[in-house]
């Protein structure tokens, strides 16, 4: 990051007063006269103007900012100025789902330059080693699947003390919500109103299930139900939530 931009950012955050920035630049100038070529950021840490963590936080928020000629969504730009929204190379935008064990956020991936869904363990669940193992196994299994009707996982792992899965962000609703919506309109079921559309959904999900069963080793979803079938706005269905899936091995009881 250029020295001028770094000094301006630190001033905006209140981490560095004008006279402290001037002192740091004077130290930098003296070191250059002595034959060195130190960056301002190293001077700030080495001479006690900032802690290493403060500097890292300041540099981190710039990763999500637009590159020249690029326009980002307003919520991404806003989050990029908030250090509490920073999670590794992700910017947390807003929470979009919460269950008994997990929490899902919309997030901006500063490397892929797109919005993804980040699945975390809830704070109490993250203390349970078995829950952590289940999450990492889900990420590992899904990352090996490539099917048009199965949600795509881009990465999984641990950042600081938080385990996560980064996957495609789907926009639409679950099959269970579609059924409830039809009943709210006094329809027995959307299946009767649009049978071809819903038969296509069942066909595609059956193909996705067949695909998982033909992997090596076969992968069983074990929780196939309407809430775990997601339908996007183009009516493409996805098989989601492999949290209790099992690989079928010869030694499986």
CA neighbours within 13 Å on the CB side: how many for 67? 4
Question: What per-residue confidence (pLDDT) applies to 113?
Answer: 87
Asked if 128 is an active-site residue, the reply is no
Summary mean pLDDT of the chain: 86
> With 70 as the cut, is the pLDDT of residue 160 above it?
yes
Rounded to 10°, the helix 52-60/3-13 angle is: 100
Percentage of the chain modeled with pLDDT above 90: 44
Residues 13-62: pLDDT tens digits?
677 888 888 898 999 999 988 888 888 888 888 888 888 877 776 666 55
The pTM of the whole model exceeds 0.85: no
Cβ atoms 102, 122 nearer than 8 A: yes
> With 90 as the cut, is the pLDDT of residue 170 above it?
yes
d(CA 91, CA 77): 10
| Confidence category of residue 231, pLDDT binned at 50, 70, 90 | very high
> With 90 as the cut, is the pLDDT of residue 156 above it?
yes
Q: What is the rounded average pLDDT of the residues 84-105?
A: 88
Identified catalytic residue from 82, 128, 193, 223: 223
Neighbouring-strand partners of residue 165: 119, 156
Question: What per-residue confidence (pLDDT) applies to 67?
Answer: 58
Q: What is the rounded average pLDDT of the residues 166-185?
A: 90
């Amino acid at each position: 990051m250029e020295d001028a931009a770094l000094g301006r950012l630190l001033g905006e955050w209140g981490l560095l007063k004008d006279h402290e920035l001037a002192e740091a630049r004077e130290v930098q100038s003296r070191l250059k006269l002595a034959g060195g070529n130190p960056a301002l950021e190293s001077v700030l840490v080495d001479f006690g103007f900032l802690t290493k963590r403060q500097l890292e936080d300041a540099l981190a928020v710039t990763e999500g900012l637009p590159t020249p000629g690029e326009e980002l969504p307003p919520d991404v730009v806003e989050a990029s100025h908030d250090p509490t929204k920073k999670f590794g190379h992700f910017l947390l935008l807003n929470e979009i789902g919460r269950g008994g064990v997990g929490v899902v956020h919309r997030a901006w991936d500063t490397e892929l330059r797109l919005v993804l869904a980040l699945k975390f363990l809830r704070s109490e669940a993250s203390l349970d080693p078995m829950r952590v193992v289940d999450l990492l196994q889900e990420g590992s299994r899904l990352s090996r699947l490539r099917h048009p009707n199965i949600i795509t996982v881009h990465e999984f792992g641990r950042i600081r003390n938080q385990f996560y899965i980064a996957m495609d962000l789907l926009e639409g609703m679950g099959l269970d919500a579609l059924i409830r919506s039809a009943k709210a309109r006094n329809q027995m079921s959307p299946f009767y109103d649009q049978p071809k559309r819903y038969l296509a959904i069942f066909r595609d999900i059956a193909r996705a299930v067949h695909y998982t069963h033909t992997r090596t080793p076969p992968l069983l979803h074990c929780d196939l139900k309407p809430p775990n079938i997601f339908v996007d706005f183009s009516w493409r269905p996805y098989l989601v939530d492999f949290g209790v899936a099992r690989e079928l091995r010869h030694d499986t009881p």
